[in-house]
Structure 1
């Protein structure tokens, strides 16, 4: 949002600067336009609070050139001029903590409120809030707990996920996405890039036997060391993750095998096998709830799945998203270490 009103001039200028420069936050050459900021600018996030342009500059420099963090990335999703004195941004921030051998990746999504002085038009307040916590006042115990939980070693970093995939027959994860909102370690909203999958007919899975038959159908399409592939190119395709099960909410579902990206543009389709179709899935906003990792209760009983769907739908609806699925419908995305519940959503 922007305005042509002269009173919006400084807010519009700040918004333009943020939109152009914030994605380069971690570039060593990035230098904010400090003349847009008041010398007594106040900064606040869940872990810190200070005042003064020098401390503000040092904080920016610490992010860019930290001895503890590397591979920093800032994804800017939105810049909005709310009024002549307020600009709000929405972002995803990620960085790798290099001081630990397992090099944990920390990710946060949230918003920043820039408050401009009514007389000078300079930024006098910078307020960060994270989506993953309720108490954003420093020093937030929730904020500290969130950071610590992301720093702790994941057992899958000790027992490699690749090894687990080999043990359990999983494959490479081929779906690519941008993290839009992170509400907890379990619940996120992601924007998935378009992908292609081979999908069984709607309603083809309705009990254990039909699930096994449909799984075998997809295996025949891919082919393996013992099975000639039933696809138009006659080539064996790799196992990929996740495998998708689209549940209609009416006691039946269909299964989907996601093609590796390098196969998307090739003339590949089922051949000599009925009940499968090629489906192009466009870029999609997806709310996810993860039931993955050691120690997680990965039950797939109807009660557990519907309970997880309800938990996910309730939270993201409360956070301003609209569920696009039919009543009780959802997708199960299966991985070597568990599964995720997926719901297609849009922002209200």
Structure 2
């Protein structure tokens, strides 16, 4: 369940996943009780301080630009991360230098700003991804997601050989959200934190990770920046808890 908290001006989303248990009166055959068990807390009492704190944590302000983002469905939300099912999307990418780096961004941004075979300007989206597919970061790519109404056949060709268009197939990822300036040390710390949590919960994280940066660092206060570390999962199912 996803709810928008309207009273606050930044309208944060409250996300709850779990199990609802309904009791039925055998005489009247009507519902007589309803208890929700949230995935994000352990104390699921009628009035749970842990539950109240979980709600309060979700009210914090993150700045998410009013731009198109990759489509995903939240399958599960724990106290530490979300499990999301992403729909397929297309990225324009080139080689980067490190997860928190900016090398290569101007090249992929130039593609959507019209430096392509058709001189076509393509709407900006969010976030900007940097991805590595191994722990040693021997290969890092910087990516901009292209609008959902685009497909590989209709997109203009890049002007540079170092730029590539690629379709990312829909898959399931775990995401850990955090604010502040995403330095390399912080990103690696968050990646380890997320990976450790997944393994502890019996899930199977793949090698590598992605850093998602939603904001222009020159125009956004650090304490409201929205950043995420994502790790793709192997064979996620609800029975693995």
Q: Fold-level match, TM-score > 0.5?
A: yes
Name the SS of the counterpart of 1:240 in structure 2. Answer: coil
Name the SS of the counterpart of 2:195 in structure 1. Answer: helix
Name the CA distance, whole Å, in 2 between partners of 1:286 and 1:129. 23
Name the SS of the counterpart of 1:322 in structure 2. Answer: coil
Q: Give the paired residue count.
A: 224
Residue of structure 2 aligned with 1:239, choices 124, 130, 140: 124
Match of 2:151?
A: 264
Is the 8 Å Cα contact of residues 158 and 164 (structure 2) preserved in structure 1? Answer: no
Residue 261 (structure 1) shift: 1.6
Higher helix share: 1
Decide whether aligned partners of structure 1 residues 289 and 98 sit closer, same or farther in structure 2, where only a CA change above 3 A counts. closer
Match of 1:180?
A: 75
Name the CA distance, whole Å, in 2 between partners of 1:112 and 1:318. 24
Structure ID, larger Rg: 1
Name the CA distance, whole Å, in 2 between partners of 1:119 and 1:104. 43
Match of 1:67?
A: none
Decide whether aligned partners of structure 1 residues 191 and 299 sit closer, same or farther in structure 2, where only a CA change above 3 A counts. same
Decide whether aligned partners of structure 1 residues 181 and 230 sit closer, same or farther in structure 2, where only a CA change above 3 A counts. same
Unaligned runs of 5+ in 1: 1-92, 163-170, 224-228
Decide whether aligned partners of structure 1 residues 155 and 178 sit closer, same or farther in structure 2, where only a CA change above 3 A counts. closer
Residue 232 (structure 1) shift: 3.4
Higher strand share: 1
Is the 8 Å Cα contact of residues 175 and 228 (structure 2) preserved in structure 1? Answer: yes
Decide whether aligned partners of structure 1 residues 316 and 120 sit closer, same or farther in structure 2, where only a CA change above 3 A counts. farther
Q: Which structure carries more relative contact order (alpha carbon 8 Å, separation 6+)?
A: 2
1:146 to 2:54 alignment:
yes
Match of 1:317?
A: 199
Name the CA distance, whole Å, in 2 between partners of 1:101 and 1:258. 28
Give the CA RMSD over aligned residues. Answer: 3.1
Residue of structure 1 aligned with 2:183, choices 291, 297, 300: 300
1:9-53, Cα deviation, whole Å (9 max, x unpaired): xxxxxxxxxxxxxxxxxxxxxxxxxxxxxxxxxxxxxxxxxxxxx
1:181-228, Cα deviation, whole Å (9 max, x unpaired): 1223x621111111111122xxx33369x952x2232133223xxxxx
Match of 1:230?
A: 115
1:139-162, Cα deviation, whole Å (9 max, x unpaired): 211011222333x46274xxxx54
TM-score, L = length of structure 2: 0.78
Name the CA distance, whole Å, in 2 between partners of 1:126 and 1:320. 29
Name the CA distance, whole Å, in 1 between partners of 2:107 and 2:12. 39
Matches within 5 A, 1:92-111: 93-99=1-7, 103-111=11-19
Residue of structure 2 aligned with 1:250, choices 136, 150, 168: 136
Is the 8 Å Cα contact of residues 104 and 153 (structure 1) preserved in structure 2? Answer: yes
Is the 8 Å Cα contact of residues 120 and 156 (structure 2) preserved in structure 1? Answer: no
Name the CA distance, whole Å, in 2 between partners of 1:268 and 1:219. 15
Unaligned runs of 5+ in 2: 216-224
